[in-house]
Amino acid sequence: MSEVTLKPKVTLKRKGEAAPFTFNERLQIEMVWSSDTDLDLCLFWKTKDGKIGGVFSDGYNQNKDDLGSLDKFPFILHMGDAKTPRPGGEENEVIKVKNIDALSELYVIVLNYDAAIDNENVTFSEYSGKVEITTDTGDNFEVPVDDNKAGHVYVVCKIENADAGKKAINEGRVLTLGQAFSQIPGFSLITNS
């Protein structure tokens, strides 16, 4: 009988740090934070043929289709904006991914909804946040959401899907809404501009 071991959790702390990963039929992206602030987990993508899109809370456009689906394209499902309390008083939001074969890049984004609506000057370091990416092959990544720069949009990581393989890259960038609109494929789906 062979010995069973666990893969270590990889924490991507440095901007630009990358880690390869694999998954068969399940990739889960979970945002965890400790505050009453309404943080939203979003996943925006670009297909290999240049189309853009995203999955995010259906509260933005009042459209259930914004949550996505695991049974049809984009094979990504946002589990909803209802926060689920975790042990220790943390909150979470979850996105499940079944297949990214048609996608070339995905952007994991955290948006401080309340602060953006009220145009408050805030930083993400106030919320003890992190994003955990777990695959069905045992890969487990954690990316802190802790930048001290003021802004409403946190680009947590970029997932690249190339012929050479999949990898998660820590972006760790804070953007204004205008910067996110111009730099993140699909972000325009949740804005009025």
pLDDT for residue 15 = 65
Q: What angle do CA 179, 134, 186 make, to 5 degrees?
A: 25
Q: Which domains does the chain have, with CATH numbers?
A: 16-190 (2.60.60.30)
* 45, 53 contact by CB (below 8 A): yes
pLDDT for residue 6 = 46
* 154, 109 contact by CB (below 8 A): yes
**Number of Cβ within a 10 Å radius of residue 4:** 5
pLDDT for residue 5 = 45
CB burial string 137-149: b at 16+ within 10 A, e below: eebbbbbbbbbee
pLDDT for residue 100 = 92
**Number of Cβ within a 10 Å radius of residue 168:** 27
pLDDT for residue 165 = 84
Per-10-residue mean pLDDT of the chain, 193 residues long, equals: 50 64 85 87 96 93 93 95 69 92 95 90 89 87 88 93 85 92 94 78
